[in-house]
Chains A and B, each alone.
Chain A
Amino acid sequence: MNRPTLLPQLSSLVRRTPVRDGLGVGVAVGFSGLAFGTTAVTSGLSVAQACVLSLLAFTGASQFALVGVVAGGGNLVAGAVGALLLGFRNTLYGLRLGELLDWRGPGRALAAHGVIDETTAVALAQNGRADVRAGFTTTFATLFLLWNTTTLVGAVATESIGDPSTFGLDVVGPATFLALLWPRLREGGRTLVVALLGAAIALAATPLLPPGVPVLLASIAALIALGDGKDDATERSGK
């Protein structure tokens, strides 16, 4: 009885711009959980640890950062601090989204888990509160489901093969970071300088300091961004 009305309802829902945007981004990015599951197990995490990290942290760059330090045999405290430093940009996204979404209480506590790069990008591209909320929620739900499922699949698949490096899986982690960073690198200018300086600091410090610490030290390079404020206008209009 429901069937004839349900399908048109579904298709009209999917045709709404924020829902379509959210599904598109969620599906495109969600499968990169495969890369995370693979990298996590290659680095020495168990399947359970990889899955719990995806469920709780649910922010790709921070997760990759922690397992990257684990892979290098690094200090776990330094690894966690590095991951949290990377997660700090979600605080900034939350500052912008808080006003737009305008959820309170339990709704806000739930929505907070979804404050990441992709949901922010989709939400900010919508007009009006209803569409902002729809875009945010669709992206969050799609991405959360896929990211966690594919983390599990990637982790289990990697665990079942003997030596992941035979398949070149040790390069998936750094290649993921490169792909994430690529759009920012193309901006050139000060962003490129920050990136090159960050890499140089980490490489120079590696023979001298315990693994994990050189990555933290690289955040000094971000101080360049504090300099003069002439990029302000472009940054505000560009985001």
Chain B
Amino acid sequence: MMLWAAVVVTGVGCYLLKYAGLAAPRAVLERPAVRRFAMAVPVALLAALIALQTVADADRLVVDLSRLGGMAAAVVALLLRAPFLVVLVVAAATTAGLRALGVG
């Protein structure tokens, strides 16, 4: 039930954020500090999520070698300019392969 509430609040909230921008007076955008901060927030949050989902389980840090291997494979795929979905498949396949070999 709580999970449903979080899903609906996030969904409706995301819509309202979009609508607020489309309907707001444009003067808000003229403040460069607001713009810079709002463009930087996703960078910080996404980086945090990458780090945590790679080396954390709930409230403790863990070293899961197969997960780390999958992320390393994703980096290699990105460096080789692989398309988005290829990056994901390479990452998952590497992690699955390492796990099948008994790593991590």
A: residues with CB less than 8 A from B are: 28-29, 31-32, 34-35, 44-45, 49, 52-53, 55-59, 61-66, 68, 70-74, 76-77, 79-80, 82-99, 101, 108-109, 111-116, 165-182, 184, 190-191, 194-203, 206-207, 209-211, 214-215, 218-226, 229, 231-232, 235
B: residues with CB less than 8 A from A are: 2-15, 17-24, 26, 28-29, 32-33, 35-61, 66-67, 70-71, 74-75, 78, 83-85, 87-88, 91-97, 99-100
- Asked if B60 contacts A59 (CB within 8 A), the reply is no
Q: What is the bound-complex CA distance between A181 and B29, given in angstroms?
A: 23
- Asked if A226 contacts B37 (CB within 8 A), the reply is yes
B103 to chain A, nearest CB (A): 12
Residues of chain B lying within 8 A (CB to CB) of residue A206: 52, 56, 59-61
Residues of chain B lying within 8 A (CB to CB) of residue A65: 45, 49
Residues of chain B lying within 8 A (CB to CB) of residue A224: 40
A166-B96, A168-B66, A175-B71 as given contacts; A92 in contact with B21, CB under 8 Å: yes
- Asked if A199 contacts B14 (CB within 8 A), the reply is no
A94-B20, A191-B43 as given contacts; A179 in contact with B87, CB under 8 Å: yes
- Asked if B5 contacts A76 (CB within 8 A), the reply is yes
- Asked if B3 contacts A166 (CB within 8 A), the reply is no
- Asked if B20 contacts A215 (CB within 8 A), the reply is no
Q: What is the bound-complex CA distance between A84 and B8, given in angstroms?
A: 12
| 7 A-B pairs with least C-beta separation | A94-B21, A56-B11, A168-B95, A198-B44, A218-B48, A225-B40, A168-B96
Residues of chain B lying within 8 A (CB to CB) of residue A115: 18, 21-22
A-B contact count (CB 8 A): 315
- Asked if B18 contacts A72 (CB within 8 A), the reply is no
Return the contact of B11 from the options A29, A53, A172, A198 (Cβ within 8 A): A53
Q: What is the bound-complex CA distance between A35 and B11, given in angstroms?
A: 18
Residues of chain A lying within 8 A (CB to CB) of residue B67: 170-171, 174
Which B residue's beta carbon lies closest to that of A91?
B21
Return the contact of B74 from the options A88, A179, A195, A207 (Cβ within 8 A): A179
Return the contact of A196 from the options B47, B57, B74, B85 (Cβ within 8 A): B47
Residues of chain A lying within 8 A (CB to CB) of residue B35: 92, 235
Which B residue's beta carbon lies closest to that of A75?
B6
- Asked if A49 contacts B7 (CB within 8 A), the reply is yes
Residues of chain B lying within 8 A (CB to CB) of residue A83: 10, 13-14
Return the contact of A66 from the options B6, B22, B92, B95 (Cβ within 8 A): B6
Residues of chain B lying within 8 A (CB to CB) of residue A190: 40
